[in-house]
Homo-oligomer: A and B are copies of this chain.
Amino acid sequence: MKNTFGNQISLTLFGESHGEAIGCVIDGLPAGVNVDLELIKKRLSKRRPSEKCDTPRVEMDNFQILSGTFNGKTTGTPLAIVIPNENTKSKDYSYGKARPSHADYTAYVKYHGYEDFRGGGHFSGRVTAALVAAGAIFEAMLENVGVKIGTHILSLGGVYDRNFENISRDIDTVKEMTFPVLSDIKEKMMEKIEEAREAKDSLGGILETAVYGVPAGVGEPWFDSLESVLSHALFSIGGIKGVEFGSGFELASMRGSQANDQFFVENGTVKTKTNHSGGINGGISNGMPITIRCAVKPTPSISKEQETVDFINNENASIEIKGRHDPAIVRRASVVVDSVCALVVADMLATKFGTDFFVK
Protein backbone atom coordinates (compact mmCIF):
# COMPACT_ATOMS: atom_id res chain seq x y z
CA MET A 1 0.00 0.00 0.00
CA LYS A 2 2.36 2.68 -1.15
CA ASN A 3 3.39 4.45 2.07
CA THR A 4 1.74 2.14 4.57
CA PHE A 5 3.38 -1.14 5.52
CA GLY A 6 2.37 -3.93 7.86
CA ASN A 7 -0.71 -5.95 8.65
CA GLN A 8 -1.47 -6.16 12.35
CA ILE A 9 1.00 -3.43 13.17
CA SER A 10 1.43 -0.94 10.38
CA LEU A 11 3.39 2.20 9.68
CA THR A 12 2.41 5.06 7.39
CA LEU A 13 5.23 7.34 6.30
CA PHE A 14 5.03 10.93 5.11
CA GLY A 15 7.20 13.92 4.39
CA GLU A 16 9.67 15.53 2.07
CA SER A 17 13.24 16.59 2.70
CA HIS A 18 12.56 20.32 2.55
CA GLY A 19 8.87 20.40 3.49
CA GLU A 20 7.46 21.33 6.87
CA ALA A 21 8.11 18.03 8.54
CA ILE A 22 8.47 14.33 8.06
CA GLY A 23 6.80 11.75 10.22
CA CYS A 24 4.81 8.57 10.51
CA VAL A 25 1.71 7.05 12.03
CA ILE A 26 1.99 3.66 13.71
CA ASP A 27 -1.21 1.69 14.02
CA GLY A 28 -2.04 -1.58 15.73
CA LEU A 29 0.34 -1.11 18.63
CA PRO A 30 -0.69 -2.94 21.76
CA ALA A 31 -1.78 -0.70 24.61
CA GLY A 32 0.55 -0.35 27.56
CA VAL A 33 3.96 -0.37 25.88
CA ASN A 34 6.49 2.05 27.35
CA VAL A 35 7.37 4.87 25.00
CA ASP A 36 10.96 5.62 25.89
CA LEU A 37 11.68 9.12 24.61
CA GLU A 38 15.37 8.79 25.49
CA LEU A 39 15.67 5.65 23.39
CA ILE A 40 14.02 7.40 20.46
CA LYS A 41 16.51 10.27 20.80
CA LYS A 42 19.39 7.83 21.00
CA ARG A 43 18.35 5.99 17.87
CA LEU A 44 17.76 9.24 15.99
CA SER A 45 21.16 10.40 17.08
CA LYS A 46 22.71 7.22 15.66
CA ARG A 47 21.10 7.99 12.30
CA ARG A 48 22.10 11.66 12.44
CA PRO A 49 25.24 12.88 10.68
CA SER A 50 27.88 12.90 13.39
CA GLU A 51 31.01 11.26 12.15
CA LYS A 52 33.30 13.17 9.89
CA CYS A 53 32.36 10.74 7.14
CA ASP A 54 28.83 12.15 7.10
CA THR A 55 27.16 15.13 5.47
CA PRO A 56 27.56 18.43 7.30
CA ARG A 57 23.78 18.96 7.16
CA VAL A 58 22.72 18.21 10.72
CA GLU A 59 19.16 18.36 12.00
CA MET A 60 18.23 18.13 15.61
CA ASP A 61 15.26 15.81 14.99
CA ASN A 62 13.14 17.48 17.62
CA PHE A 63 10.38 14.97 17.21
CA GLN A 64 6.96 15.31 18.72
CA ILE A 65 4.47 12.53 19.45
CA LEU A 66 1.03 13.87 18.61
CA SER A 67 -1.18 10.97 19.58
CA GLY A 68 -1.35 7.41 20.78
CA THR A 69 0.45 7.79 24.09
CA PHE A 70 -0.87 8.63 27.53
CA ASN A 71 1.10 8.73 30.75
CA GLY A 72 4.20 7.54 28.90
CA LYS A 73 2.64 4.42 27.47
CA THR A 74 0.98 3.49 24.20
CA THR A 75 -2.80 3.70 24.22
CA GLY A 76 -3.35 1.18 21.43
CA THR A 77 -4.63 3.87 19.07
CA PRO A 78 -2.52 5.38 16.26
CA LEU A 79 0.73 6.92 17.39
CA ALA A 80 1.76 9.84 15.20
CA ILE A 81 5.32 11.13 15.23
CA VAL A 82 6.28 14.41 13.59
CA ILE A 83 9.85 15.59 13.04
CA PRO A 84 10.10 19.16 11.76
CA ASN A 85 12.62 19.89 9.05
CA GLU A 86 15.27 22.47 9.80
CA ASN A 87 18.48 23.61 8.26
CA THR A 88 17.17 23.19 4.73
CA LYS A 89 19.12 24.90 2.01
CA SER A 90 16.72 24.63 -0.85
CA LYS A 91 18.67 26.98 -3.04
CA ASP A 92 21.30 24.26 -3.43
CA TYR A 93 18.86 22.40 -5.62
CA SER A 94 17.82 23.25 -9.13
CA TYR A 95 15.22 21.41 -11.17
CA GLY A 96 15.40 19.70 -14.49
CA LYS A 97 18.78 18.04 -14.57
CA ALA A 98 18.43 14.46 -13.41
CA ARG A 99 21.08 13.45 -10.91
CA PRO A 100 22.30 10.04 -12.18
CA SER A 101 20.96 7.06 -10.20
CA HIS A 102 18.73 9.38 -8.16
CA ALA A 103 14.93 9.43 -8.34
CA ASP A 104 14.79 12.87 -10.02
CA TYR A 105 13.90 11.60 -13.45
CA THR A 106 11.59 8.78 -12.38
CA ALA A 107 9.76 11.07 -9.95
CA TYR A 108 9.31 13.59 -12.75
CA VAL A 109 7.75 10.94 -14.97
CA LYS A 110 5.56 9.53 -12.21
CA TYR A 111 4.42 12.83 -10.74
CA HIS A 112 4.30 14.81 -13.98
CA GLY A 113 6.50 17.61 -12.66
CA TYR A 114 4.44 18.26 -9.53
CA GLU A 115 6.89 16.50 -7.20
CA ASP A 116 8.63 18.47 -4.45
CA PHE A 117 12.10 18.03 -5.88
CA ARG A 118 13.95 20.00 -3.20
CA GLY A 119 16.54 17.82 -1.55
CA GLY A 120 15.13 14.72 -3.16
CA GLY A 121 11.68 15.37 -1.70
CA HIS A 122 9.92 12.24 -0.54
CA PHE A 123 12.84 10.16 -1.86
CA SER A 124 15.33 11.74 0.48
CA GLY A 125 17.10 9.72 3.15
CA ARG A 126 15.74 12.40 5.47
CA VAL A 127 12.45 10.52 5.55
CA THR A 128 14.14 7.57 7.24
CA ALA A 129 14.36 9.56 10.48
CA ALA A 130 10.67 8.78 10.96
CA LEU A 131 11.35 5.08 10.51
CA VAL A 132 14.09 5.24 13.10
CA ALA A 133 11.91 7.00 15.66
CA ALA A 134 9.27 4.33 15.13
CA GLY A 135 11.93 1.63 15.30
CA ALA A 136 12.80 2.64 18.84
CA ILE A 137 9.22 1.96 19.88
CA PHE A 138 9.21 -1.45 18.21
CA GLU A 139 12.58 -2.21 19.78
CA ALA A 140 11.16 -1.73 23.26
CA MET A 141 8.17 -3.97 22.47
CA LEU A 142 10.40 -6.69 21.09
CA GLU A 143 12.67 -6.57 24.12
CA ASN A 144 9.66 -7.37 26.28
CA VAL A 145 9.41 -10.69 24.48
CA GLY A 146 13.12 -11.43 24.27
CA VAL A 147 13.76 -10.34 20.69
CA LYS A 148 16.61 -8.02 19.73
CA ILE A 149 18.05 -6.75 16.46
CA GLY A 150 21.45 -5.38 15.50
CA THR A 151 23.30 -4.40 12.34
CA HIS A 152 26.96 -3.90 11.58
CA ILE A 153 28.91 -2.74 8.55
CA LEU A 154 30.19 -5.96 7.01
CA SER A 155 32.09 -4.24 4.23
CA LEU A 156 32.84 -0.72 3.09
CA GLY A 157 35.31 0.39 0.47
CA GLY A 158 36.93 -3.02 0.31
CA VAL A 159 37.41 -3.26 4.09
CA TYR A 160 35.67 -6.23 5.72
CA ASP A 161 34.38 -6.70 9.22
CA ARG A 162 34.10 -10.19 10.73
CA ASN A 163 30.72 -11.93 10.60
CA PHE A 164 28.39 -12.23 13.57
CA GLU A 165 29.61 -14.93 15.95
CA ASN A 166 28.05 -14.82 19.39
CA ILE A 167 24.96 -13.19 18.05
CA SER A 168 23.27 -12.09 21.24
CA ARG A 169 26.43 -10.41 22.52
CA ASP A 170 27.40 -9.01 19.14
CA ILE A 171 23.96 -7.38 18.80
CA ASP A 172 24.40 -5.72 22.20
CA THR A 173 27.81 -4.47 21.10
CA VAL A 174 26.89 -2.94 17.75
CA LYS A 175 23.62 -1.49 19.01
CA GLU A 176 25.56 0.95 21.18
CA MET A 177 28.08 1.97 18.50
CA THR A 178 27.67 4.99 16.28
CA PHE A 179 29.89 3.30 13.73
CA PRO A 180 28.84 -0.31 14.20
CA VAL A 181 31.62 -2.78 13.45
CA LEU A 182 32.60 -5.99 15.24
CA SER A 183 36.35 -5.80 14.70
CA ASP A 184 38.89 -3.03 14.88
CA ILE A 185 38.40 -1.63 11.40
CA LYS A 186 36.60 1.66 11.91
CA GLU A 187 39.68 3.74 11.13
CA LYS A 188 40.41 1.82 7.94
CA MET A 189 36.86 2.30 6.76
CA MET A 190 36.97 5.99 7.64
CA GLU A 191 40.13 6.38 5.59
CA LYS A 192 38.43 4.85 2.58
CA ILE A 193 35.52 7.22 2.99
CA GLU A 194 37.88 10.18 3.26
CA GLU A 195 39.67 9.07 0.10
CA ALA A 196 36.36 8.86 -1.72
CA ARG A 197 35.31 12.28 -0.51
CA GLU A 198 38.56 13.79 -1.70
CA ALA A 199 38.08 12.12 -5.06
CA LYS A 200 34.62 13.80 -5.19
CA ASP A 201 33.27 10.29 -5.15
CA SER A 202 31.32 7.96 -2.85
CA LEU A 203 31.30 4.39 -1.54
CA GLY A 204 28.81 1.59 -1.02
CA GLY A 205 28.91 -1.27 1.43
CA ILE A 206 27.21 -4.28 2.92
CA LEU A 207 25.19 -4.29 6.13
CA GLU A 208 24.74 -7.49 8.08
CA THR A 209 21.79 -7.79 10.43
CA ALA A 210 20.84 -10.38 13.01
CA VAL A 211 17.51 -10.85 14.72
CA TYR A 212 17.84 -12.82 17.92
CA GLY A 213 15.10 -14.48 19.92
CA VAL A 214 12.33 -15.01 17.38
CA PRO A 215 10.67 -18.26 18.38
CA ALA A 216 10.21 -21.02 15.80
CA GLY A 217 6.95 -20.94 13.87
CA VAL A 218 6.75 -17.28 12.85
CA GLY A 219 6.07 -16.36 9.20
CA GLU A 220 3.05 -16.54 6.90
CA PRO A 221 3.92 -18.37 3.69
CA TRP A 222 3.40 -18.50 0.83
CA PHE A 223 3.46 -14.84 0.14
CA ASP A 224 4.20 -13.54 3.58
CA SER A 225 7.21 -15.72 4.13
CA LEU A 226 9.63 -14.06 6.54
CA GLU A 227 12.07 -13.46 3.70
CA SER A 228 9.31 -11.92 1.57
CA VAL A 229 8.15 -9.44 4.14
CA LEU A 230 11.60 -8.54 5.41
CA SER A 231 12.91 -7.96 1.90
CA HIS A 232 9.83 -5.93 1.02
CA ALA A 233 10.54 -3.55 3.88
CA LEU A 234 14.29 -3.49 3.31
CA PHE A 235 14.10 -2.74 -0.41
CA SER A 236 11.94 0.26 0.39
CA ILE A 237 15.02 1.90 1.90
CA GLY A 238 16.67 4.00 -0.77
CA GLY A 239 20.02 2.66 -1.92
CA ILE A 240 19.50 -0.99 -1.01
CA LYS A 241 19.87 -3.06 -4.18
CA GLY A 242 20.44 -6.56 -2.82
CA VAL A 243 19.08 -8.59 0.09
CA GLU A 244 20.08 -12.09 1.10
CA PHE A 245 19.27 -14.38 4.00
CA GLY A 246 21.67 -16.77 5.69
CA SER A 247 24.39 -17.66 3.22
CA GLY A 248 22.37 -16.07 0.42
CA PHE A 249 24.15 -15.93 -2.92
CA GLU A 250 26.90 -18.21 -1.62
CA LEU A 251 24.32 -20.99 -1.47
CA ALA A 252 24.18 -20.91 -5.26
CA SER A 253 27.63 -22.45 -5.45
CA MET A 254 27.27 -24.92 -2.60
CA ARG A 255 26.14 -28.50 -2.66
CA GLY A 256 23.10 -29.58 -0.67
CA SER A 257 25.26 -31.50 1.76
CA GLN A 258 27.14 -28.29 2.56
CA ALA A 259 24.17 -25.97 2.51
CA ASN A 260 21.73 -28.01 4.58
CA ASP A 261 21.55 -27.07 8.24
CA GLN A 262 21.42 -30.30 10.18
CA PHE A 263 19.21 -30.26 13.25
CA PHE A 264 20.03 -31.39 16.76
CA VAL A 265 18.42 -31.18 20.18
CA GLU A 266 20.20 -29.36 22.97
CA ASN A 267 18.60 -29.17 26.40
CA GLY A 268 15.26 -29.92 24.84
CA THR A 269 15.58 -27.21 22.22
CA VAL A 270 15.85 -27.87 18.51
CA LYS A 271 18.80 -26.08 16.92
CA THR A 272 20.84 -26.33 13.74
CA LYS A 273 24.59 -26.96 13.55
CA THR A 274 25.07 -24.35 10.86
CA ASN A 275 22.80 -21.48 9.90
CA HIS A 276 23.08 -21.21 6.12
CA SER A 277 19.30 -20.79 6.05
CA GLY A 278 19.50 -17.64 8.18
CA GLY A 279 17.01 -18.94 10.68
CA ILE A 280 14.25 -19.42 8.11
CA ASN A 281 12.96 -22.67 6.56
CA GLY A 282 10.02 -22.56 4.19
CA GLY A 283 9.47 -18.91 5.02
CA ILE A 284 8.99 -19.68 8.74
CA SER A 285 11.44 -19.02 11.57
CA ASN A 286 13.19 -22.13 12.91
CA GLY A 287 14.31 -20.58 16.19
CA MET A 288 17.88 -19.86 15.09
CA PRO A 289 18.96 -16.22 14.65
CA ILE A 290 17.66 -14.62 11.50
CA THR A 291 20.56 -13.27 9.48
CA ILE A 292 20.28 -10.80 6.63
CA ARG A 293 22.73 -8.96 4.42
CA CYS A 294 21.86 -5.83 2.46
CA ALA A 295 23.90 -4.34 -0.37
CA VAL A 296 23.98 -0.55 -0.12
CA LYS A 297 24.96 1.22 -3.31
CA PRO A 298 27.37 4.16 -3.24
CA THR A 299 25.66 7.48 -2.51
CA PRO A 300 24.62 8.68 -5.94
CA SER A 301 25.30 12.31 -5.02
CA ILE A 302 28.90 12.86 -6.01
CA SER A 303 30.65 16.12 -6.72
CA LYS A 304 32.34 14.90 -9.92
CA GLU A 305 30.85 16.19 -13.10
CA GLN A 306 28.50 13.67 -14.71
CA GLU A 307 26.64 13.44 -17.96
CA THR A 308 22.90 13.44 -17.75
CA VAL A 309 19.72 14.84 -19.29
CA ASP A 310 17.69 17.94 -18.73
CA PHE A 311 14.31 16.21 -18.63
CA ILE A 312 12.28 19.37 -19.05
CA ASN A 313 13.91 20.19 -22.33
CA ASN A 314 14.56 16.53 -23.11
CA GLU A 315 18.16 17.17 -24.03
CA ASN A 316 21.59 16.04 -22.99
CA ALA A 317 23.30 17.99 -20.24
CA SER A 318 26.01 17.73 -17.63
CA ILE A 319 25.70 18.12 -13.91
CA GLU A 320 27.96 18.93 -10.95
CA ILE A 321 26.06 18.16 -7.78
CA LYS A 322 26.50 20.83 -5.14
CA GLY A 323 25.16 20.64 -1.66
CA ARG A 324 26.12 18.62 1.36
CA HIS A 325 26.22 14.88 0.99
CA ASP A 326 27.49 11.75 2.71
CA PRO A 327 30.27 10.00 0.81
CA ALA A 328 28.83 6.78 2.29
CA ILE A 329 25.43 6.33 3.83
CA VAL A 330 26.19 2.82 5.00
CA ARG A 331 26.80 3.79 8.62
CA ARG A 332 23.62 5.84 8.87
CA ALA A 333 21.57 3.22 7.06
CA SER A 334 22.40 0.61 9.71
CA VAL A 335 19.84 1.91 12.20
CA VAL A 336 17.24 2.29 9.46
CA VAL A 337 17.69 -1.39 8.63
CA ASP A 338 17.26 -2.25 12.31
CA SER A 339 14.07 -0.24 12.38
CA VAL A 340 12.32 -1.78 9.42
CA CYS A 341 13.30 -5.25 10.60
CA ALA A 342 11.79 -4.41 13.99
CA LEU A 343 8.54 -3.36 12.31
CA VAL A 344 8.34 -6.60 10.34
CA VAL A 345 9.17 -8.87 13.26
CA ALA A 346 6.74 -7.09 15.60
CA ASP A 347 4.00 -7.33 12.98
CA MET A 348 4.62 -11.02 12.36
CA LEU A 349 4.59 -11.81 16.07
CA ALA A 350 1.32 -9.89 16.50
CA THR A 351 -0.16 -11.83 13.59
CA LYS A 352 0.63 -15.15 15.21
CA PHE A 353 0.11 -14.36 18.86
CA GLY A 354 -2.47 -11.55 18.79
CA THR A 355 -2.29 -7.87 19.58
CA ASP A 356 -1.62 -8.21 23.28
CA PHE A 357 1.32 -10.56 23.03
CA PHE A 358 3.88 -7.85 23.82
CA VAL A 359 2.31 -6.72 27.07
CA LYS A 360 1.26 -10.01 28.56
Contact = CB atoms under 8 A, between A and B. Distances in A.
Number of copies: 4
A232 B223 contact: yes
Interface string A3-40: 11101101011111001111101011001100000000
A188 interface: no
Given A25-B12, A204-B254, A242-B243, A281 B105 contact: yes
A331 interface: no
Interface centre among A32, A122, A157 (most CB of B within 10 A): A122
A353 to B, nearest CB: 5
Interface in A213-255: 216-225, 227-229, 231-233, 235-236, 238, 240-255
Nearest to A101: B260
Given A76-B110, A106-B217, A253-B155, A242 B236 contact: no
**Of A2, A254, A301, most B-chain CB atoms within 10 Å:** A2
Given A25-B12, A268-B314, A309-B270, A236 B283 contact: yes
A261 B101 contact: yes
A15 B66 contact: yes
Nearest to A206: B252
A306 interface: yes
A105 B286 contact: yes
Nearest to A300: B260
Contacts of A232: 223, 228-229, 231-232
B297 A251 contact: yes
Given A228-B236, A255-B202, A278 B241 contact: yes
A359 B112 contact: yes
B106 A286 contact: yes
A107 B284 contact: yes
Interface centre among A224, A243, A252, A264 (most CB of B within 10 A): A252
Interface in A271-324: 272-273, 276-278, 280-287, 295-302, 304, 306-309, 311, 314-316
A190 interface: no
B112 A31 contact: yes
A56 interface: no
A353 B350 CA distance: 9
B70 A114 contact: yes
B284 A100 contact: no
Given A254-B298, A307-B263, A75 B3 contact: no
A189 interface: no
Contacts of A339: none
A115 interface: yes
B14 A66 contact: yes
Contacts of A243: 231, 242-244
A82 interface: yes
- From A71, A231, A301, A352, name the one whose CB has the most chain B CB atoms within 10 angstroms: A231
10 contacts: A2-B78, A70-B114, A100-B260, A100-B261, A102-B282, A127-B222, A241-B246, A251-B295, A263-B307, A265-B316
Given A3-B27, A242-B242, 13 more contacts: A4-B10, A4-B12, A76-B114, A78-B122, A100-B263, A103-B221, A106-B285, A155-B252, A231-B235, A241-B251, A244-B244, A262-B307, A265-B309
